[in-house]
Chain A
Amino acid sequence: MKYTEEHEWLRAEGDEVVVGITAHAAEQLGDVVFVELPESGANVTKDDEIVVIESVKAASDILAPIDGEITAVNEAIVETPNMVNDDPEGDAWFFRMTVADASQMEDFMDEAAYKAFIG
């Protein structure tokens, strides 16, 4: 598992990555009440704002961590947004995407580095 400074996790599955937000981010956001996901098939560029997540408190954006094509999105979290609080690093994954440029994966943190990052 790799982690971004934007509190996303990326898990490699075959040629693709599955992306979600970390337990730390979910805890900080508080009760998630609304999630808007990108369209499956969309081509995205690193740092595009592709997900909107709203907690009781505020709206936040999630950025595309890398360039690639969205190949699947998790409709279950749209139906039941509080899954993001209950199981952020498991069932509440956000989307799956292809990796257009493998070198972009090299910048991310491993678990130990992310733990240090969040203090």
Chain B
Amino acid sequence: MDRGGIGQHRKMLRAVPGSSGGSGGRVTEFKQTPLNALHRDFGARMVEFAGYEMPVQFSGVMDEHLHVRSEAGLFDVSHMGQVRLAGAAWEEVALALETLVPQDVLGLQDGRQRYAFFTNEQGGIEDDLMISRHGDELVVVVNAACKEADLARLQTLAVSISLESDQALLALQGPASVNVLGPDFDDMRFMDVRNAEIAGCSVWLSRSGYTGEDGFEISVAAEDAQTLARHLLDHPQVKPIGLGARDSLRLEAGLCLYGTDMDAGLNPVEANLAWAIQKVRRRGGDREGGFPGASIVLAALKDGVHRKRAGLRPEGRAPMRREVPLFADEKGGAQIGFVTSGGFGPSVGAPVAMGIVADSLNDVGTRLWGEVRGRRLPVEIVQLPFVPARFKR
């Protein structure tokens, strides 16, 4: 391939909106979150994402990104699906979900949250999700683009399933987050979940997020979402943040984006997510297997895989974006991997990327070559994350 896979992702500058060019103005044919009007009030540039009209940026991706790392930012993630699972008892609900995910659900304590993923019969990942225990019930938060498929998957279970479409979801992220919410929340640890009242709004929140920073994700009734968001944005340390900075923040934090860094054709070990499969579901565990594709995933855990997700640091200044092919040598040879997501890391101050790399070459410090616009440029395999996680453990 003479131009590298990135060709299809490049745009001519003529794609910049002009009156005879792109849409330039408002997009109205998409679903909206309860905070749509607020985004416009704050000067957002809106784009379509997973069928929703979402803010891609406010003051600018670089500025927003750095603000989250230094103070706090508010994200609207109401496009994500919140689904509640209920049954006669906790065991029933937990064991039902365990038939779809390779995680230890039963062992989740009340008021705790855990990262999980749905697998398919080939051991691939169908979506990733956060699961939290609320008494005897579970709430799962799934990606917007997978919402319908995930709902259908969950509806095969013999428990009660309800899509909480009247709930909004906000994420407050950054080192000042707890200062913004107040001392009442200081005792929450990473992945703790509780009910609370903030600015007169009833919410449930978790100490978690998708930026590598300390922070909270807050579920609130759609009708209260504006009140809560405006209350948080009134704080001088909080700025509204768009999807652009959300992507650069999660990339620097080494966090996967579903559909990009992992998908139905990649198993959890290849996606470097083996850490998220607890012992009790592995070979020899009390509840070994019992999820779609278990034999493949368990074999991969035991025997290893031929390719795996890795952190990549281009040595030059040129970003290596999604689909850039990777090679062992500067000239010739077969392709040995590809970039799954990449761009400029504002906190790193240089390009950063993640990709799938053949296991034989997948060691930290190995130098590979990424083909960008027909030229092979050096890139080094590095430890993830690019920016140390600052969770409240």
Contact surface of A with B, Cβ cutoff 8 Å: 5-8, 21, 24-25, 28-31, 33-34, 36, 52-63, 81, 116-119
Partner of B61, one of A25, A57, A61, A62: A57
- Cβ–Cβ contact B14 & A5, under 8 A: yes
- Cβ–Cβ contact B18 & A52, under 8 A: no
Cα A25 to Cα B24 with chains together (Å) = 12
Contact surface of B with A, Cβ cutoff 8 Å: 6, 9-21, 24-25, 56-57, 60-62, 65, 244, 248, 317-319, 321, 343-344, 346, 351, 373
Cα A30 to Cα B245 with chains together (Å) = 12
Residues of chain B lying within 8 A (CB to CB) of residue A8: 13
Partner of A60, one of B15, B21, B25, B65: B15
Cα A57 to Cα B344 with chains together (Å) = 8
* Closest chain B CB from A108 CB (angstroms): 14
Residues of chain A lying within 8 A (CB to CB) of residue B14: 5-7
- Cβ–Cβ contact B9 & A59, under 8 A: yes
- Cβ–Cβ contact A117 & B317, under 8 A: no
Cα A58 to Cα B6 with chains together (Å) = 11
- Cβ–Cβ contact A6 & B57, under 8 A: no
* Closest chain B CB from A64 CB (angstroms): 12
Cα A85 to Cα B319 with chains together (Å) = 18
- Cβ–Cβ contact A5 & B10, under 8 A: no
Cα A36 to Cα B10 with chains together (Å) = 14
- Cβ–Cβ contact A119 & B11, under 8 A: no
Cα A101 to Cα B212 with chains together (Å) = 55
Q: What are 13 A-B interface contacts by the 8 Å CB criterion?
A: A5-B20, A5-B21, A7-B18, A30-B57, A54-B318, A56-B343, A57-B56, A57-B343, A58-B11, A59-B6, A117-B18, A118-B19, A119-B19
Residues of chain A lying within 8 A (CB to CB) of residue B25: 119
Cα A63 to Cα B11 with chains together (Å) = 11
- Cβ–Cβ contact A117 & B61, under 8 A: no
With A28-B16, A30-B57, A117-B20 as known contacts, state yes or no: A54 contacts B11, CB within 8 Å: no
* Closest chain B CB from A34 CB (angstroms): 5
Cα A36 to Cα B11 with chains together (Å) = 15
Closest to A57 in B: B244
